Copies of this chain bind each other. A is one copy, B any other.
Amino acid sequence: GMDGAPSPPSPAGLSAYVVVSQLLGLTLLATTGAWLGRYRGGVAWHSPLQFNVHPLCMVLGMVFLQGDALLVYRVFRHEAKRSTKALHALLHGLALLIALVGIVAVFEFHRTKGIPDMYSLHSWCGMAAFVLYLLQWLLGCGFFLLPGASFSLRGRYKPQHVFFGLALFVLSIAVCLLGITEMLLFNIRDSYSHFVSEGVLANTLGVLLVAFGLVVGYVLTRDDWKRPPLAEELALSMDFKTLTEGESPGGGS
């Protein structure tokens, strides 16, 4: 049996993809910072620069941290499930907090400027993504971290949690692309079509966001890169089967 054997190495390729995802993620953040710093006057809270807190927080929270939270089950393949779960919840919680700061920044900016809220497609999709992400996090904590939910209830909710998790990550990236387009058409509407450097830089940020989504999505959906159950988890699930179905742990498959 596998009991007591050393952890098998990660599948070939997985580590390379994870490294690429992290390089892309850091490049995303640097490119966002360069855009806001070089062309938009930088970032500050109580000032006309308060708006710029919004794109920075959203890329950091809703894209980079959300993406990394999704990757933890692939990266920490042989750690105890409970610690990996806690890290997954923690990273998503941090992402939500940072996104909340970014949302407060744009609402406060609108109020000082007298600009209406929530009229654009970006704001509709963005608010939907944030509220559903918060809901997903609360449901995830309720089902998988609190002790109340039964083994079979967890099993039935898990595929929904996984699908909506990836869908919300993808939607968050799409919302960032909408935000980039809005910012460019508000700020450099007339020069955008002349390929000015701010436009090219912001377009590049958009392409990097798509690339980050593709790499993370590829790692998450590859069947042979899914986290294998540990020996003790298999044993637990067999004990469970024995209790509920009267099966012999040694029989079957």
Contacts and interface: CB of A to CB of B under 8 A. Distances in A.
A151 to B, nearest CB: 19
Kindly state the interface size class of chain A when it binds its partner: 35 or more
Majority-rule SS of A interface residues:
helix
A125 B210 CA distance: 9
B119 A193 contact: yes
A170 B217 CA distance: 11
Nearest to A191: B119
Contacts of A186: 185
A182 interface: yes
Contact of A116 (B116, B124, B194): B194
B184 A222 contact: no
26 contacts: A116-B193, A116-B195, A119-B192, A119-B194, A119-B195, A119-B199, A120-B184, A120-B199, A121-B177, A121-B180, A121-B203, A121-B206, A124-B203, A124-B207, A125-B177, A125-B206, A128-B210, A163-B222, A167-B217, A171-B210, A174-B174, A177-B178, A181-B182, A185-B185, A185-B186, A221-B221
